[in-house]
Structure 1
Amino acid sequence: MRFDLTDLQLFLHVAETGSITSGAERSHLALASASARLRGMEDVLGVPLLFRKPRGVEVTDAGRTLLHHARVVTQQMDRMRGDLGDYAKGLKGHLRLLCNTSAMMEFLPEALAGYMQAHPQVNIAVEERLSYDIVQAVTDGQADMGIIADTVASGNLQTFAFRDDQLVVVAAPGHAMTKTAQASAGKRSIAFEDILQHDFIGLAGDSALQQHIGEHAARLGQRLHYRLRLSSFDAICRMVESGIGIAVIPATAAARYKKTMAIRQWRLSDTWAMRRLLICVRQYDDLPAYARELVDTLRITPN
């Protein structure tokens, strides 16, 4: 089965306009040439891709499948042209880095700042994912490197220590959870299952951290009740301070906001809540020099 980009773009244009004539015009092809290409695609596949009607065409089920893949391929080609165009403008490197919520919001901004200043001709695309999704993406070559929690198996990837990430629960001084915790003199940690009855405040969107916390609640047969979802740990802690709910956030964020907000924190005693974040790559020695330099910048150097 061989379709070239002209075939795929023609099919996209025909599907979008509902007309072979209009699709041919958009593709800058003569009508006869466009019709021959479409027939040739159908002959190769052995199924019709279009229902031809007196006033246009409709895509068949097989055509809808081809349409999906055609969009993926053309989008990838557009991204490739853009990336290669950047090289023509002087860009020397492009990296795709996947990381979990804590790495993205708490540690990476400061860690990347010096590297980006020292490497003005390198672009980095950072995307948030769950740790086990990151492992799969790096293994499959869909990303150059990732930052994952050591609570997931890294498979055959090489890993390097990045940061420690303790999850804590924060609450307002007058919140019911605070009063319960204070009743236990000297108690500085609390089990996750002991806070599930309270209302939560969490991150908005498809946050990897919220998915991670939700999965552990599900393992306990519970479902978290979120009264509010916000875009940052700062906003979350401000709402926690008001007393409307509690939140599970990285200890680094809690320590920062405790300085200016009336909130209390307790370490989660569950083993999954104390995580070491790891940089993962397929093979360090196979990375281009600028990518190895990024790993070396981010990793914790043993004393």
Structure 2
Amino acid sequence: MDRLINPARIDFVTLRLFCAVAESGSITKGAQACNLALSAASRRLADFESASGTRLLERSAQGVSLTPAGHVAMQHALRLFQGFEQLSSELGDYSRGVRGHVRLWANMSSLTEYLPERLAAFLEAQPDIRVEVEEQLSGETARALVDGLADIGIFADNTPTHGLDVERFQEDRLAVLCSRKHPLARRRKVTYAECLDHEFVGLNRGSSLLELTSRAAQLAGKAMQLRVQVRSFDAMCRMIEANLGIGVLPVGVLRTPVPKSLAVIDLDEPWAHRHLLLGMAAGRDPSPAALLLRDHLLASARVNPA
């Protein structure tokens, strides 16, 4: 039978100490950061390892480091602290008269293109609800919904949705962007296979858009030549404007009017018309505030389709 940790043997002081020791690489420094005597800190760490049934820290003359089990413990400790801070924040909201708190995670495309005006309208109509917005990659957003870290998520339709209830939110049309100096600039329409003969500017690893374009390159039997990778659509546009490569990105994120130094080319591929999904955790009762925001976003999407 697997050994289970008794929660009564672990408290937040011990978890905070464990994190401080792991971050500093020193039991002495960790004890000082938590205002504990060294002997008391050592005893707490020993009790924590005893309760865990495994060694969490490797001790040496150079200091301490995490074992593989220690890394797992660290991840869960940080998640507990995050949840505790969230609890304190939300209870504080209620004490100040706020009657609802919604955690909305969304990918860059939806935050840039669709959410600002719709969130503004919602908050104007519901001033007693606080919406905490966080930009995350589509995959991270889906996992956060399952783990209970987010109430509502908006992500690309090529994201795994196991454990989620999802509805279509908006259509997201992709196009090719290049400098006016680029050989493709005179084209009105281009296939992705033709694009793969050129170097690309793309988003960082883990983005749903990079995953989509990389998979399409594999299906076309060609390699995607990534010359530059950046963290935002704005940075992509600047790099493309400097003729460092071409890029595939949602039409709606482009500045209007598009600068004369850039050319927007139709991408002649079925997958260039993707959908953004709105998701919530399946089998979990959402708060009234989360339901209000979900209904508002879906209603606004029906009134203002892409």
Q: Deviations over 1:217-240 (max 9, x none)?
A: 244344433444556545544554
One-letter identity of the residue aligned with 1:261 = K
Unaligned runs of 5+ in 2: none
Cα distance in 2, alignment partners of residues 29 and 240 from structure 1: 54
Query: Which residue, 94, 103, 106 being the options, matches 1:87?
Result: 94
What residue is the counterpart of 1:268 in the other structure? Answer: 267
- In structure 2, do the counterparts of structure 1 residues 175 and 87 end up closer, same or farther at CA, with 3 Å as the change threshold? same
1:162 aligns with 2:162: no
Cα distance in 1, alignment partners of residues 41 and 241 from structure 2: 64
- In structure 2, do the counterparts of structure 1 residues 212 and 104 end up closer, same or farther at CA, with 3 Å as the change threshold? farther
What residue is the counterpart of 2:80 in the other structure? Answer: 73
Q: Contact 1:98/1:147 (CA < 8 Å) preserved in 2?
A: yes
Equivalence map 1:32-43=2 (5 Å): 33-43=40-50
- In structure 2, do the counterparts of structure 1 residues 95 and 239 end up closer, same or farther at CA, with 3 Å as the change threshold? same
| Paired residue secondary structure (2:114) | helix
How far is 1:169 from its partner? 0.9
RMSD of aligned C-alpha atoms?
A: 3.8
TM-score, L = length of structure 1: 0.75
One-letter identity of the residue aligned with 2:117 = E
What residue is the counterpart of 1:212 in the other structure? Answer: 212
What residue is the counterpart of 2:137 in the other structure? Answer: 129
| Paired residue secondary structure (1:9) | helix
- In structure 2, do the counterparts of structure 1 residues 212 and 44 end up closer, same or farther at CA, with 3 Å as the change threshold? same
One-letter identity of the residue aligned with 2:104 = L
Cα distance in 1, alignment partners of residues 244 and 58 from structure 2: 57
Query: Which has the higher mean CA deviation after the structures are superposed, 55-64 or 215-224?
Result: 55-64
What residue is the counterpart of 2:16 in the other structure? Answer: 9
Cα distance in 2, alignment partners of residues 253 and 45 from structure 1: 49
What residue is the counterpart of 1:184 in the other structure? Answer: none
Equivalence map 1:102-181=2 (5 Å): 102-121=109-128, 122-130=130-138, 132-152=139-159, 154-155=161-162, 157-179=164-186, 181=187
Cα distance in 1, alignment partners of residues 79 and 283 from structure 2: 30
Q: Contact 1:171/1:247 (CA < 8 Å) preserved in 2?
A: yes
Cα distance in 2, alignment partners of residues 4 and 114 from structure 1: 43
Q: Deviations over 1:40-92 (max 9, x none)?
A: 33443455556778x89645737744455444433443443344334333333
- In structure 2, do the counterparts of structure 1 residues 146 and 27 end up closer, same or farther at CA, with 3 Å as the change threshold? closer
Query: Which has the higher mean CA deviation after the structures are superposed, 33-42 or 166-175?
Result: 33-42
Structure 1 vs Structure 2: percent identity of aligned residues?
Answer: 32
How far is 1:168 from its partner? 0.8
Cα distance in 2, alignment partners of residues 67 and 230 from structure 1: 29
Q: Deviations over 1:177-198 (max 9, x none)?
A: 234x4xxxxxx53221111111
What residue is the counterpart of 1:280 in the other structure? Answer: 279
Q: Deviations over 1:147-166 (max 9, x none)?
A: 23344564463333322111
What residue is the counterpart of 1:61 in the other structure? Answer: 67
Query: Which has the higher mean CA deviation after the structures are superposed, 273-282 or 207-216?
Result: 207-216
Cα distance in 2, alignment partners of residues 115 and 161 from structure 1: 19
What residue is the counterpart of 2:26 in the other structure? Answer: 18
Q: Deviations over 1:84-133 (max 9, x none)?
A: 33433333333222323321221112222211333334132222212x55
Equivalenced residue count is 292
Cα distance in 1, alignment partners of residues 25 and 254 from structure 2: 54
Unaligned runs of 5+ in 1: 182-187
One-letter identity of the residue aligned with 1:298 = L
What residue is the counterpart of 1:290 in the other structure? Answer: 289
Q: Contact 1:19/1:56 (CA < 8 Å) preserved in 2?
A: no
| Paired residue secondary structure (1:245) | coil
